[in-house]
Amino acid sequence: MLTGLFVLNAAAQEEPRVRARDLGVAPGIFSPGTNNAITDVAGVRVGQVTLRKGDKVRTGVTAILPHPGNAYRSRVPAALHVGNGFGKFIGTTQINELGELESPILLTCTLCVWKAADAMVEWMLAQPDMQEVRSLNVVVGETNDGRLNDIRARPITAAAVRTALESAKSGPVQEGSVGAGTGTTAFGWKAGIGTSSRKLPESLGGWTVGVLVQANFGGVLQVEGAPVGRELDRYAFQNAVAARENTRGLADDRGDGSIIIVIATDAPLSDRNLQRLASRGMMGLGRTGSSASNGSGDYILAFSTAESVRRQFDAVRLQTTELANEQMSAVFQASVDAVEESVYNALFMATTESGNGQTVEAIPLDQVRKILKEHGVEVPVR
């Protein structure tokens, strides 16, 4: 039993946290799915374990399962785009070579990727129909939560990984300071896990695109074009730009950090078109104000859950029906918009967090509302 260690943040917040749409921030033109989450793609499930221990450990695990079956036996086509490769993403060379995913996807902290990978290997090998398996390519991504988390303690355990995998479910996904986002920050504010989705009109195929991000990066925050970072006086290179003393006693923020973006869709896409789809994730990221700095690991993994492109591991031939190139544009648009909104959700839902001797504040939503209104973003009356 995992007692006492895995607890969600119960600290009272003076200001209720809300998702982007509650602030009138709804990027793009397509409507979201039922939960506005990656789990709106049928079959996709998310499980999370949040680890807070003492006053130093603030980290966790987020697991994404592509479908309810055995991911090794029934593989989904997949592709990875690297916007900036300053990071660790286990298992991606084989994805690039074979164009398929044969495990769930785990997200965690930088120095825990190998422990998480080993735990997932053990968990998968213990599953039914896996007794003869001698090779596994598990996929684990990371961002560095070492500001709030005692990352050198490498606190992720096999029990935490198993719990994340076995608790994965469809429906709403918890966001902000949870799971792999427990200790992460973005644009100088507390961030974490964020998710969003888009449902295309039937005339454009009716496909669903879902996104989940682990946000831990920097830059100059903008929301629907409004210069939120500048107006809140928290943005990359601000001390150099303002030619002033650094009142926080820290080195000038250069926008470093990382983000993992996972894009799921039920559109029947080949790994080639999934590569094209993954590359569009950088466009959504750029809208939020990231410049993919030197010290930022920016990775986008995309996969398709469609039965018509599924790959049985022992198949002799593959007969697939996939979406034509000319039908990809709406899927691209949906992914760009969902990535952008996922980042906002990661920020707006995160709560102020203290750990490892530091405190990172949640972005003040009352001030964000004011800035958005001043720049013409319609904010709903609450």
In the chain, where the domains are located: 20-311+321-374
Angle between helices 158-166 and 113-125 (to 10 degrees): 60
Q: Looking at the predicted structure, is the pLDDT value of residue 118 above 80? A: yes
Does 103 participate in catalysis according to the annotation? Answer: no
At 3-20, the pLDDT tens digits run: 334 443 444 346 799 999
Stretch 351-380: mean pLDDT: 93
Instruction: Tell me how far apart the alpha carbons of residues 323 and 211 are, in angstroms, rounded to a whole number.
Output: 20
Say if residue 148's pLDDT is above 80: yes
pLDDT at 188 over 60: yes
Look up 314 and say whether it is catalytic. no
Tally of CA atoms within 13 A in the half-sphere of 334 that contains its CB? 33
Strand order in the sheet with 139-143: 45-53, 57-65, 105-109, 139-143, 89-90
Q: What is the chain's length?
A: 382
Mean pLDDT of 332-359: 97
Q: What is the pLDDT of residue 12?
A: 38
What pLDDT, in 10s, does the model give residues 223-269?
999 999 999 999 999 888 876 655 554 455 788 999 999 999 999 99
Q: What is the pLDDT of residue 382?
A: 47
- Is it the case that residue 64 has pLDDT exceeding 50? yes
Please report the pLDDT score of residue 380 as a whole number.
65
What pLDDT does residue 315 have?
80
Count of other CB atoms within 10 angstroms of residue 293: 20
pLDDT at 247: 54
Q: Residue 46: helix, strand or coil by DSSP?
A: strand
Active-site option among 177, 258, 279, 290: 258
Task: Please tell me the predicted confidence (pLDDT) of residue 377.
Answer: 86
- Does an H or E element contain 279, and which? helix 271-287
Mean pLDDT (the chain, rounded): 92
Catalytic residue (one of 40, 298, 304, 342): 298
Share of the chain above pLDDT 90, in %: 86
Beta strands 139-143; 105-109: pairing state: parallel
Q: What is the 3-state secondary structure (H, E, C) of 77-138?
A: EEEEEEEEECCCEECHHHHHHHCEECCCEEEEEHHHHHHHHHHHHHHHHCCCCCCCCCCCCC
Of the candidates 170, 197, 290, 296, the residue annotated as catalytic is 296
For helices 329-349 and 271-287, angle between their N-to-C axes, nearest 10 degrees: 50
DSSP state of 303: E
Candidate CATH numbers 3.30.390.30, 3.40.50.300, 3.60.70.12, 3.30.360.10; the one for domain 20-311+321-374:
3.60.70.12
Active site residue 177: no
